[in-house]
Amino acid sequence: MKKSHKIIYWIATIWLSLGMLSTGLVQILQLKEESKFMLDLGFPTYFMILLGVWKIPGVIVLLLPKLPLLKEWAYAGFFFTLSGAIVSHMASGDPVSDMFPALLLLILTILSWYFRPVGRKIISAGLQY
């Protein structure tokens, strides 16, 4: 693996982890501003707790070595969560500035997944995914 790829991977993964951890904690704690945000998008507040609770183990799995199958699940979960957030903002007619945090985390998710080291990938029949 090229040194530049390692650097991109770790920068993207650390920023993604910080973003998902912080938003997960805000959602679990049900801060007023976040609750209003979710209600404005049309989601019940219990959905916010569910999202927050699942973000924490996702971050842990991404940061631990090995566990390639669980990492794929974490990346998929983050991708679906963040793309769903962007679509929800678009459907609600929110300005792009409201979508920016989810868009940034989605880009970091894709970068982290793409540049992940071989030891963090699923290898099947000589193919790397």
**55-96 confidence digits (pLDDT tens):** 999 999 999 998 999 999 999 999 999 999 999 999 999 999
Instruction: Point out which residues pair with 128 in neighbouring strands.
Output: 123
Task: Please answer whether residues 64 and 120 qualify as being in contact, where contact means their C-beta atoms are separated by less than 8 angstroms.
Answer: no
Report the chain's C-alpha Rg in angstroms: 16
- Mean pLDDT, all residues of the chain: 92
Return all residues near 25 (Cβ < 8 A) that are at least 6 apart.
52, 56
pTM here is: 0.90
Banded pLDDT at 124 (limits 50, 70, 90):
low
**pLDDT above 90: residue 126:** no
